[in-house]
Amino acid sequence: MDPADLSSQLTRIAARQEEQDHRMDQIALALQTLLNRSTTGAASPPEPVVPRASSASPEGCRLSMKAPVRYDGTPNLCRGFLTQLEILFENNPGSCVSDKAKVGYLINHLTDKALLWATPLWENKKPIIYDYEGFTSELKRTFDPSRRATNAGRSLFHIKQGNRRVSDYAIEFKTLTSEVHWPNDVLTLAFTEGLNEALMFELAPLKLPEHLDHLVDFCIAMDDQIRDRRHSRDRPRRLLPPLPLVPRHTNTSGTPEPVRTDLPVVEPMQIGRTGISEAERTYRRERGLCFYCAGAGHFRLQCPQRPRGGRGDTGKPGQRTPTSQVIGSLYASFVDNEKKKTRILVPISLTWEGVHLKTEAFLDSGASGNFMDRVFASKNLMPLVLKERPLMVEAIDGKPLSCPHITHDTIEVCMKTGVLHQETIRFQIIDSPSCPVVLGFPWLTEHNPVIDWVQRDIKCWGPSCQLKCMGRVTVIGSLNIATAPPLSTVVPDCYQALKEVFSKARTEVLPPHRPYDCAIELLPGTMPPRGHVYPLSQKENDIMEEYIKENLERGFIRRSSSPAGAGFFFVSKKEGDLRPCIDYRGLNRITIRNAYPIPLITELFDRLKGARIYTKLDLRGAYNLIRVKKGHEWKTAFNTRSGHYEYLVMPFGLCNAPAVFQDLINDTLRDFLQTFVIVYLDDILIYSPDKETHHPMCNKC
């Protein structure tokens, strides 16, 4: 039958059915009225029957609640549609007296694909139309997607807040949590992992609620507070009249030198001039925290962070506390873009944990420290360290900046300026949108650079830099050249053409991502456990520190904020040395196994019959030649006494590491396998019947 004719016929059937339903409703209402009159003996005339606007009720079904919206077969709407029908039937138990009446009522509220599916069942009087539970089960099996809990679990670890409000993000998150049965700890972890970086930065120094509902409410309040602060900061500021001038001290000519009176000190953590928000005030009061700095163990009046000299203080006017710093001309440079032409911007290169980044630094003699922009640090995943005490920061005129506290520093990074000048330095984190990096007066004093103000460049460095910042580079270079043995002395003559293959330096470089990257797929609804920090002897601790240092420099590991964390310990080798091991047993228990086959050793030995000459290849690093799949690094995290780290290369101890490595080696040597090469994991053996054919075979591999 033509689809157009079928659609027309279905429309006529639905209209006819609707007309019959309407008539049945009128008859039922009239009968009910007569029944009421006979019961109560009332003499009032029967009420007129008011026709309803589209009553799609089958025979034997009369519902007083509003009918659900017609269902068209959209998968995500199936459960909601059936839930609405269930509520209707439960609240009107006498309306649909049979399963067939319920099924008929349901079909009358289907359209599009769903109606096309149900029509043959009704027309052919299939047994399923007499079983409402069976009919709804078949409907869900056809239109409701399977693996709902699994899909929801995956989505919970992938949804992000982005630029949305936390309230919108929480609605989506809680909708997904209704499909899974995860413990509260896992849900709170997944929720915080999805928050944007700006909010996570604000939450870092705070103690968060443990229950998910309380955590969501707290994050919504913090998000609203941040947005209100940003909104008030972006509004144009009202210009104040000039302050009166008063004499501060007398110069050599005896004339009083006029100086502006000091403004009242604006206290940190305040919204405008009305104090902290009510939610923040309640939070600090319940935990006994200071209303001024949010610290513990004291109250606002005794707060050591509170600057003296403001209104209500007895200190000297204008006196700054030792915990305050001046940004200087940096504040003024935000306002006028024309002043960019007068800046001294120096190209620099920053290196930390295997990451290399090039940018420009602003030399500002008016700044009392070295600073980095908050957004710049966040975008480049710069690791940050929480200060023991927040540091108040203000402009050169004494006014606070938009974010009046410095709460975080960067870790120590290597900064290279020019060709030879390099140093280790920390930066304090501020809001500095126009200058990602600021080098202030202390840095200029320490290095004493000679600046060409016309070319706006550094021409030479101070005497101390020749030893501290430049001599070190030269010495290291010469030592490497002098002590590195030439490869020609350690590589046999017959393999001199391949001497680059024997270079140790090539194995100390982070390998690129390839199709063979090690993926760590977890069982649905599971999370890697957090292991123990094992006690180590002094010797083991020294070896561990050296291991961490070497692998950070190579870029094989990096600092981690992962919720996972395996234990770190040592086992003894046959030679007596110590081998570092990561306790991945908990992770392996929830990892989906890689089914790539590992060869049988007995079968490999059979291949060696008739061979007389052998060459064994020993790969440097072996498993470290393979990268961990991008986005899976956090699952390899491990704990040590010196910090929390994660691997970028495939570590030993993962259950799928042998299969992944065997796949790589087999694919690389596929043309030679079973011919003159056998491979078992990282053991490669080249075999041949005589020496004449052996060397060419080795060169091919």
Least confident range of 22-36, 160-174, 413-427, 475-489: 475-489
Please write the tens of the pLDDT for every residue from 319-328: 434 444 544 4
User: d(Cα 296, Cα 207) in Å, to the nearest integer?
Assistant: 12
What is the average pLDDT across 207-230? 85
Tell me the pairing of strands 450-452 and 457-460: antiparallel
Q: What is the pLDDT at residue 590?
A: 93
Q: What is the pLDDT at residue 451?
A: 83
DSSP 282-351: HHHHHHTB-TTT--BSS-GGG-TTSPSSSTT--S-TTPPPTTEEE-THHHHHHH-GGGGGG--EEEEEEE
User: Which tokens in the block code for residue 26?
Assistant: 């009128």
Tracing tokens 């990892």 back to the chain, one arrives at 591
What is the average pLDDT across 278-302? 69
User: d(Cα 383, Cα 353) in Å, to the nearest integer?
Assistant: 9
Work out the pLDDT band at 259, boundaries 50, 70, 90: very low
Residue 131, pLDDT > 80, answer: yes
Cα of 447 vs its chain's centroid, Å? 38
**What is the DSSP secondary structure assignment for residue 371, as one 8-state letter?**
E
Who contacts 234 (Cβ-Cβ below 8 Å, separation ≥6)?
A: none
User: d(Cα 397, Cα 403) in Å, to the nearest integer?
Assistant: 16
Of 447, 446, 432, 416, the residue nearest 372 (C-alpha): 432
Q: What is the pLDDT at residue 281?
A: 72
Max mean pLDDT range (131-145, 174-188, 209-223, 307-321) = 209-223
Q: What is the pLDDT at residue 499?
A: 63
User: d(Cα 680, Cα 701) in Å, to the nearest integer?
Assistant: 15
Q: What is the pLDDT at residue 420?
A: 74
User: Domains, the chain, ranges and CATH?
Assistant: 3-143 (no CATH), 148-228 (no CATH), 272-306 (no CATH), 325-472 (2.40.70.10), 493-700 (3.10.10.10)
Q: What is the pLDDT at residue 236?
A: 53
Q: What is the pLDDT at residue 472?
A: 41
Q: Rounded to the nearest 5°, which phi and psi values hold at 115?
A: -70, -40
User: d(Cα 393, Cα 326) in Å, to the nearest integer?
Assistant: 6
E-only strand ranges, 562-701: 567-572, 578-583, 613-618, 638-640, 643-647, 677-680, 683-688
Q: pTM higher than 0.75 for the full model?
A: no
Per the model's pLDDT, the better-predicted residue between 337 and 342 turns out to be 342
What is the average pLDDT across 372-382? 89
% the chain with pLDDT above 90: 13
What is the average pLDDT across 358-368? 87
Chain mean pLDDT for the chain = 75
Work out the pLDDT band at 520, boundaries 50, 70, 90: very high
Question: End-to-end alpha-carbon separation of the chain, Å?
Answer: 67
Q: Rounded to the nearest 5°, which phi and psi values hold at 434?
A: -90, -15
Please write the tens of the pLDDT for every residue from 491-514: 666 666 666 666 676 777 888 899
Please write the tens of the pLDDT for every residue from 544-591: 999 999 999 889 999 998 899 999 988 877 677 788 889 999 999 999
User: d(Cα 292, Cα 205) in Å, to the nearest integer?
Assistant: 15
CB 259 within 8 A of CB 246: yes
What is the average pLDDT across 401-428? 83
% the chain with pLDDT above 70: 69
Please provide the size of the chain in residues: 701
